[in-house]
Amino acid sequence: MNSRLALSIVIPTHNRAALLQRSLEAMTQQSLPPSCFEVIVVADACRDDTAAMVLASAARVPYRLALLGHTARSAAASRNLGATRAQGDWLLFLDDDVVAEPELVRQHWVARAENGISLGYSKPVFPIRATFWQLSARLWWEDRFRDIGRPGHRFSFRDFFSGNVSLPATLFRKVGGFDPSMVGRLEDYELGIRLLKEGTKFSFLPRAIGHHHESTDLEQWLGRLRQEGEADVLMGQRHPELRTMLFSSKEPTDRRLRRLRRLAFDHPRLGDWMNALFVRQTRLYERWRLRGLWFPLLGRLREYNYWRGVSAAIGHRRAFQDWLQEAPLPPAVAPDAPVHDLASSRTDAALAEVLDLGSRVGLRLLVDGSEVLALPPKPGCEPLRPPHLAALVSELAESELIPALALKWVRAHGRNLLCQSDLPRLI
């Protein structure tokens, strides 16, 4: 037996004894020897028989199982508490509704060699007769993990999910752990920002599979969206450099959605009444299986509830706009930013150096001497590395790089070309 435990698994829970028992049961099936890890259950304001169940399991299970209890009503605080009592050098955070496959802990244990943050793959599991919302949520989650698993994916704070993730305990303590003042689920993202500022490397473990038994439905999700709106404001206050980025991607796209945003800011009572009406309408549409009407309504509900959360955190619309104006401008490409020619052959080390500098001050991409793309620094993202560049180039080739080259070519030869009558044949 190791004198020092390798891995501490922290599972926060709140009144879900049956789910928790299933996930503790899965821990007995792990391919990693049970002497290498311990499990710490943090029961937060539990009123059911969680404590009795965990104590009964502790006598049975082959690994070390500890139970902590407090009443904070916050998963962030529970995880922090669990981390302070952890004896392992590595922390693995799991949710109480995640049932681990036998390889999960071993994969995280092997990934310690990377010395960074390792994300596991949480496969969503919904009930057999899933609702429309659950069906589309499952697609969303699976697509999310597929994106993360693509070679050359550049991790951002939005990829940090605390449901199945491991990191060095020293790093966790250094950045100060989760921030319990963040509402809702966004404490993950907020911790992700701080970890990325430390320059930590992320990696994805596609074989560290946990089955995530989701029971959320539309109305709970709408409540969570409101919390997300509030949390985005908090996050913008704490990290002003992200403020513009956080809200620019959420800008409503058409007039009807913009009207909903105004409703959320100016007439929240009327808006909430309408929200309730819409929710009833979705139930009716779902019973009649009218997907063509249900999906657009979902878009409207999402828009309203997010902005309702923002307005609850910040107040009036004018105040929100002023607050956005105060934010520093999004970073631009510096005049002395490094240049990289895609046609040139740099050594890997030299390229890595240029990219590292480029992710801080911006980077200009050239093809054979002519500029095709300027990449401003992206806050809240990993530093650029060569695989990221390869993925970026193949992604942007069609929309950015080749049009830029074609434009340059037409500018250079255009006058002569246009004189010739056989232009169509040439093209």
Partner 1 sequence: MAKRVRHQPPRSAIRQCPLECLPQGFTDLQGYDRVLVVFCWRTAVVTTAWLPVHRGCVSLSQLNDVSPKAAWPVWRLIFDRPPAAVPPLPSASVVVCTRDRTDDLDRCLQSLSHVLSQGYEVIVVDNCPSTERTAQLMSRYPRIRYLRELRSGLNVARNTGLSAATGEIVAFTDDDAQVDSGWLSALLRNFDDPMVTAVTGLTLPLELETEPQQWFERTNSFARGFVSRQFDLTKAGVFAAGQVGAGVNMALRRRSLEEIGVFDEALDCGTPARSGGDQEFFYRVLARGHRIVYEPQALVWHRHRREWRALRRTLYGYGVGVFAWWTRCLWVERELGLLWIAPRWFFRHHVWNVLRALLRRPQHLPLDLALAGLFGALAGPCNFFRSRRRVRRQSPAASRAPAVGSPQGHADSPVPAPGTLAGQDLSAP
Q: What is the chain's alpha carbon radius of gyration, rounded to the nearest angstrom? A: 25
Dihedral sign computed on CA atoms, order 304, 306, 311, 312: positive
Q: What length does the chain have?
A: 427
Backbone angles phi, psi at 418, to 5 degrees: -65, -20
CB of 210 to partner 1, least distance (A): 14
- Find the binder of partner 1 among 19, 125, 290, 334 (CB under 8 A): 290
Site stretch for partner 1 (CB under 8 A), options 186-194, 282-290, 302-310, 326-334? 282-290
267 lies in the site for partner 1, by CB under 8 A: no
Confirm or reject binding of residue 142 to partner 1 (CB under 8 A).
Answer: yes
CA 304 to each of CA 116, 226, 262: distance values in angstroms, whole numbers, following the listed order: 38, 9, 9
> Do 4 and 89 contact (CB within 8 A), yes or no?
yes
For partner 1, which stretch binds (CB under 8 A), given 33-41, 283-291, 306-314, 370-378? 283-291
Q: Which residues in the 96-125 window bind partner 1 by CB under 8 A?
A: 123
Evaluate whether 39 touches 24 at the Cβ level (below 8 Å): yes
Among 56, 73, 114, 143, binds partner 1 (CB under 8 A): 143
Question: Would you count residue 342 as binding partner 1 (CB under 8 A)?
Answer: no
Site membership for partner 1, residue 394 (CB under 8 A): yes
- Our finding on whether 270 is near partner 1 (CB under 8 A) is no
Please tell me whether residue 353 binds partner 1 under the rule CB under 8 A: no
Which amino acid is it at 216? T
Of 35-43, 155-163, 210-218, 287-295, which part binds partner 1 (CB under 8 A)? 287-295
d(CA 125, CA 133): 13
Pick the binder of partner 1 from 18, 55, 135, 406 (CB under 8 A).
135
Judged by CB under 8 A, the residue of 139, 339, 342, 374 near partner 1 is: 139
Q: Decide whether 329 or 426 has the Cβ nearer to partner 1.
A: 426
Nearer to partner 1, 128 or 329 (CB): 128
- By CB under 8 A, the count of residues binding partner 1 is 24
Smallest gap from Cβ 301 to partner 1, in A, equals 15
Q: Which residues touch 426 (CB under 8 Å, ≥6 apart)?
A: 417, 420
Sole binder of partner 1 in the list 198, 251, 336, 398 (CB under 8 A) = 398
Q: Answer yes or no whether residue 216 interacts with partner 1 by CB under 8 A.
A: no
Which of 11, 17, 21 lies closest to 48, judged by CA? 17
Q: Which of 244, 218, 231 is nearest to 306 (CA)?
A: 231
Strand order in the sheet with 64-70: 64-70, 37-44, 7-13, 90-94, 164-168, 117-125, 202-213, 98-100
Rule CB under 8 A: say whether 426 interacts with partner 1. Answer: no
Work out the number of other CB atoms within 10 angstroms of the CB of residue 178: 23
Binding site for partner 1 (CB under 8 A): 123, 128-130, 132, 134-136, 138-139, 142-143, 146, 150-151, 288-292, 295, 394, 397-398
